Amino acid sequence: MTAGRVDLTTRIGRLTLSNPVMTASGTFAFGREFAELYDLSLLGAIVVKGTSLEPRRGNPPPRIFETASGMLNAIGLQNDGVRSFLDEKLPFLRQFDTRVIVNIVGNRAGEYAELARILHDAQGVDALEINISCPNVEHGHAEFAGDPSATFTVVDAVRKATSKPILPKLSPNVTDIRVFARACEEAGADAVSLINTLVGTAIDIRTRRFRLANVTGGLSGPCIKPVALRMVYQTAQAVRIPVVGIGGIVTAEDAVEFLLAGATAVQVGTGNFVNPMAAPEIVEGIKGYLAERGLNSPSDIIGKVEKAI
């Protein structure tokens, strides 16, 4: 085995990661819990839970429900606000040799810009992921993610507020995701992350009630992987900036599919719940996949998918 020769170093524009595997926002909190299981330095990057200017209490329970090969969630972006992130969460994350990407969320373009200004000054914040696509809060989806010009406005406002790398995170709940990716590219985004969850619901036929207090929730997990993979493939063809692939990744095989489809890096979300060791196992698995084929770098397979016939 020539595993020693594989170098997983990954560049997402100006952001350099030790490997292409990140953990997805909202599925890894702020790292503390997983640090009790493994060394977070094994990860390419950690994308922290969606962080807003002010604390948010989140939605009433029930907030999650398992569905066929997936789960619905309507957490409602419960978080303690950006100040608490900087004071209480960031210092812990900074002990690890990994990248910290802060997922930011607001109600107006000005709030995103304000968050970006606050985080711009923070040592140890390597990049911002702009969550314009959360389906579970009132203003999240309709205003920014459903309208390319509103997407542009938000990304543009964040771009002007910080020189740190920015990665808008796109919603799959649109007709053509490429239009939104291009709007982000025009506004100066360094890369795009996709996909966020698909809006869905579930009903308990015994009680005739919705399973979630919020009625609808975001669908994630292996059941959304084919949709995510298609969108990553299409987007990678449509923009020049790197694409970070997200959706249903549980194993290294899943991650390799995304790289082949054109993703420069991947995020593991629900997979962290399925198998808490999923992310470090995926890092090793990608290394093994490359080594077995005599390849040296993930860049050797990015976008290298070919037609079936």
Q: What minimum distance in Å lies between the beta carbon of 308 and ligand FMN?
A: 25
134 is catalytic: yes
Token readout for 58 is 């989140």
Phi/psi region, residue 118 (left: phi>0; alpha: psi -120 to 50; beta: rest), is: alpha
User: Is the CA virtual torsion 37, 41, 46, 51 positive or negative?
Assistant: positive
Phi/psi region, residue 131 (left: phi>0; alpha: psi -120 to 50; beta: rest), is: beta
Taking CA atoms, 251 is separated from 77, 87, 123, 225, in Å, by 27, 34, 33, 12
Q: What minimum distance in Å lies between the beta carbon of 100 and ligand FMN?
A: 15
Residue 3: contacted member of ligand FMN, another protein, none (CB under 5 to 8 Å, by partner type)? none
Among 22, 28, 128, 249, binds another protein (CB under 8 A): 28
Residue 184: contacted member of ligand FMN, another protein, none (CB under 5 to 8 Å, by partner type)? none
Residue 264: contacted member of ligand FMN, another protein, none (CB under 5 to 8 Å, by partner type)? none
Q: Which of residues 97-136 bind ligand FMN (CB under 6 A)?
A: 103, 131, 134
SS3 228: helix
C-beta closer to another protein: residue 179 or 277: 277
269 binds ligand FMN (CB under 6 A): yes
Q: What minimum distance in Å lies between the beta carbon of 226 and ligand FMN?
A: 11
CA–CA separation, 69 vs 224, rounded Å? 9
Using alpha carbons, select from 75, 74, 70, 73 the residue that is nearest to residue 221.
70
Please work out the total of residues on this chain that contact ligand FMN, with binding judged by CB under 6 A. Answer: 26
C-beta closer to another protein: residue 180 or 258: 258
C-beta closer to another protein: residue 35 or 260: 35
49 binds ligand FMN (CB under 6 A): yes
Taking CA atoms, 98 is separated from 3, 75, 132, 251, in Å, by 21, 27, 25, 21
71 binds another protein (CB under 8 A): yes
151 binds ligand FMN (CB under 6 A): no
Among 59, 162, 173, 196, binds ligand FMN (CB under 6 A): 196
Token readout for 178 is 């490429």
Q: Which of 134, 194, 232, 278 is catalytic?
A: 134
75 binds another protein (CB under 8 A): yes
Residues facing residue 79 across a β-bridge: 56
CA–CA separation, 67 vs 54, rounded Å? 32
The number of beta carbons lying within 10 Å of the beta carbon of residue 80 is 17
Residue type, 185: E
Q: Which residues contact another protein (rule: CB under 8 A)?
A: 26-29, 33-40, 57-58, 60-66, 68-71, 73, 75, 78, 88, 91-92, 95-96, 221-223, 250, 270, 272-277
